[in-house]
Amino acid sequence: MKIALAQQNYLIGDFEGNKKKIIAAIKQAKAKAADLILFSELSICGYPPRDFLEFKDFVQQCLDSVESIAKETIGIAALVGAPSINHKPEGKDLYNSAYFLYDGKVQEVINKSLLPNYDVFDEYRYFESNQEFGAIEFLGRRIAFTVCEDLWNTGINPLYITTPVEKIAAFKPDYMLNISASPFDYTHAIDRIDVLKETAKKYHLPIFYCNCVGAQTELIFDGGSLVITPMGEVFDEMSFFEEQISFYDLDEVIQSRNAGNREQPKGKIPLIYQALVVGVREYFNKLSFKKAILGLSGGIDSAVVACIAVEALGKENVKVLMMPSIFSSEKSVADALLLAEKLGIDHEVISLQNVYDATLNTLEPYFLGKDFDVTEENLQARIRAMFLMGFCNKHQYILLNTSNKSEMAVGYGTLYGDMCGGLAVLGDVYKTEVYELVKYINRNKIIIPENIINKPPSAELRPDQKDSDSLPEYDILDKILVQYIEQRQGPDQLVEKGFQKSLVDRVLKLVNSNEHKRYQSPPVLRVSQKAFGSGRRLPIVAKYLS
C-alpha cells in the first residue's frame, strides 16, 4: 500500500482555494499510484476557525466542500479534516472530524476525542468529544484514525482521563493515521517526535502523521509531518515551513529495522528566524497586504525586524523611517542609514523636533511648569508613531512593531507610540534572543553593523538614556521572565533559584501591572511555549503580585 502525506498551507474560510489545493494533491497522488492521501486537521476550512464555527453558513460550506472533494476519490482514498454535525441533542452541535473519502463518497467520519482547552487552544468551546472507538478496514488492512491531540495523552501525568490510542489498539489495527494542525514553537518538533515514537513503540504501530504549514495571524505552523516505524524510529520527517507531498510504502515502513537519521535540523535560533519570516509573509499574503513600514532607530530590535521583513516581503516592499530628535545620537542615525543601504530598502530621515517643540508649546500652559519626565519621552514615541501611521494611510503600508518580549513583559514601551503596529514581529522573542538572531543573520556576512550590536540599548528619549537605567541587565531580566512567564514559577520559587527577592518582586510587579499595555498591543507572532496573546489570558484588573 502506498500512502501520501500532503503537507499544505490553508487559509481560514477560503473554501474554494483550500478545495482546489486538496483536489490538486489528490490528483497528483493518484497519478503516482498512491492508495491513500492524508491532509491536515480542519484542512477544509483552515485552523483555527474559532467563532466562525458558530455560523451555520460557514459549517455548511465545509460540508459542501467535503462532498465536492469526495467525488475526486475514485481509485484513491483521502483523509481530510472538517467539522461535522452532532445529531444528538446532548452536547455541542459539532465534532472536529476526519472524513475518510473513497469511491466518490464519504465512507466514514471519525471524530476527535481529546479537545485541547489550554494555551492557544479552545476547542471545547465548539466541539463535542468523541466517545466511540474502532478501526476501519481498507484494502485488507485495519486503520486506526486519530486527530491531533488524540495522540498526546502520554507520560506520568496525562492531561485527559481517556487515552484514545489505547482504546483503538484493542481493535488490532495494522497502522495509525493522524491528521494535525500543530502550531509551532521552537521546542515542539522535538516533543512531537518523542510522543509519536513512544506511542508507536508501545503499541507496535507505524504512524503516519500529517501536519499543516503556513500561519494564521499569530499562529505559525511548521509542518514537519512524520512517519514513525513500529519500532519507534523516525522513518521520515518532512520539511519545516514548506508545502510538500511525500509518498511512502506501508510495508517498507513496517519492515524497517534501521530508519537512520532522517530528522530535520532543529536549532532553536534558525527555527525562530524561519518562523518569523513565515509569520510576516503569511500575514501579508493572506490579508492581501503588499508593503511594510517600520521605524529604524539604529537599535538592534528594529534592525532585526527590517532584515526579517526584507526576507519575507522583498526589499522593494519595505520602507523605513529614521526619526531623530535632539536626544538621538548622530551615530544611531548613521547606523540606521548604513543598514538601510545594505538591505537596499527605501528610507527617509524625518526629524520629529519641530512637531515635538510645537506640541510642548501647545501643552505648556497645562503642564504648569512641571519638570521633564516620562510625559515628554512618550510624546516623542507617539509623534514617531503618528508619522509612521501617516505613511500607512497615505501609501498603504502596514506598520511592523519592533518591541521585543522583554520590553512587552515589563511595560518598557509607549502605548500608541512604539507599541503600535499591525503585527508584533519580536513580541515573543526576548532581548537576549534578539542578539542571537543577529548572529544568525550575520552568519555568512555582516548585514547588521557591529556598532548596532555593540552599543548599549537605549530608547534615546532623554539625555544619555540607557535601558539599564530603568531595567535590570537583560541577561538577568530574561532569566526571571522565562521562569515566570513560560515556566509559571512563583516568587518564592524564583528566590530559591538564587534570584534576589527585591529584584524578583520588582520584575513580577512590572509584568503584572502592565497587562493593560499588552492587551492593546498588535498580534504577537508565537514562537515560544507561552507567548503574549490568546495563549496567556490574565486579567487587567487584579492585585496578584502587582
Each residue of 30-58: pLDDT tens digit?
999 999 999 999 999 999 999 999 999 99
Looking at 256, 280, 309, which one is the last position of a domain? 256
Give yes or no for a contact between 262 and 273, defined as CB atoms under 8 angstroms apart: no
Where helices occur in 186-267 by DSSP H, the ranges are 188-203, 250-255
Q: How far is it, in rounded angstroms, from Cα 331 to Cα 340? A: 14
- CATH number of the domain bearing residue 132: 3.60.110.10
527 domain-assigned: no
Are residues 391 and 323 part of one domain? Answer: yes
Give yes or no for a contact between 227 and 187, defined as CB atoms under 8 angstroms apart: no
Q: ∠ at Cα 434 (432, 440), nearest 5°?
A: 115
- pLDDT tens string for the chain (546 positions)? 999 999 999 999 999 999 999 999 999 999 999 999 999 999 999 999 999 999 999 999 999 999 999 999 999 999 999 999 999 999 999 999 999 999 999 999 999 999 999 999 999 999 999 999 999 999 999 999 999 999 999 888 889 999 999 999 999 999 999 999 999 999 999 999 999 999 999 999 999 999 999 999 999 999 999 999 999 999 999 999 999 999 999 999 999 876 666 899 999 999 999 999 999 999 999 999 999 999 999 999 999 999 999 999 999 999 999 999 888 888 889 999 999 999 999 999 999 999 999 999 999 999 998 999 999 999 999 999 999 999 999 999 999 999 999 999 999 999 999 999 999 999 999 999 999 999 999 999 999 999 999 988 877 777 877 878 888 999 999 999 999 999 999 999 999 999 999 999 999 999 999 999 999 999 999 999 999 999 999 999 999 998
Domain range for residue 130?
2-256
What is the model's pLDDT at position 330? 82
Q: Provide the residue type at 357 as one letter.
A: D
Are residues 285 and 222 part of one domain? Answer: no
Closest by CA to 148, choosing from 201, 209, 235, is 209
Q: How far is it, in rounded angstroms, from Cα 546 to Cα 453? A: 33
3-state helix, strand, coil in the chain (%, to 5): 40, 20, 40
265 domain-assigned: no
pTM: 0.96
Are residues 478 and 353 part of one domain? Answer: yes
Are residues 233 and 303 part of one domain? Answer: no
Question: Does residue 248 sit in helix, strand or coil?
Answer: strand
Strand pairing category for 219-222 and 213-216: antiparallel
Q: How far is it, in rounded angstroms, from Cα 430 to Cα 507? A: 15
161 domain-assigned: yes
Q: Provide the residue type at 426 as one letter.
A: L
Are residues 58 and 154 part of one domain? Answer: yes
Q: How far is it, in rounded angstroms, from Cα 12 to Cα 283? A: 12
Looking at 256, 282, 316, which one is the last position of a domain? 256
535 domain-assigned: no
**Residues sharing a CB contact under 8 Å with residue 329, sequence separation 6 or more, in sequence order:** 298, 460
Q: How far is CA 125 from CA 97, 253, 258, 432, 538, in A?
A: 15, 38, 43, 37, 18
384 domain-assigned: yes
261 domain-assigned: no
What is the model's pLDDT at position 261? 65
Q: ∠ at Cα 297 (218, 420), nearest 5°?
A: 35
Q: Provide the residue type at 142 as one letter.
A: R
Are residues 323 and 347 part of one domain? Answer: yes
Are residues 182 and 80 part of one domain? Answer: yes
536 domain-assigned: no
- CATH number of the domain bearing residue 306: 3.40.50.620
Are residues 291 and 184 part of one domain? Answer: no
Give yes or no for a contact between 209 and 178, defined as CB atoms under 8 angstroms apart: yes
Are residues 164 and 189 part of one domain? Answer: yes
Q: How far is it, in rounded angstroms, from Cα 477 to Cα 432? A: 9
Give yes or no for a contact between 208 and 219, defined as CB atoms under 8 angstroms apart: no
Are residues 409 and 463 part of one domain? Answer: yes
263 domain-assigned: no
Active site residues: 41, 112, 148
What is the model's pLDDT at position 260? 61
Q: 296-332 pLDDT, tens per residue? A: 999 999 999 999 999 999 999 999 999 998 888 888 8
Peptide bond into 48 cis (omega under 30): yes
What is the model's pLDDT at position 369? 86
Q: How far is it, in rounded angstroms, from Cα 500 to Cα 511? A: 17
Compute φ and ψ for 131, nearest 5 degrees. Answer: -125, 5
Are residues 504 and 470 part of one domain? Answer: yes
Question: Does residue 280 sit in helix, strand or coil?
Answer: helix
Are residues 350 and 478 part of one domain? Answer: yes
Domain total in the chain: 2
What is the model's pLDDT at position 259? 64
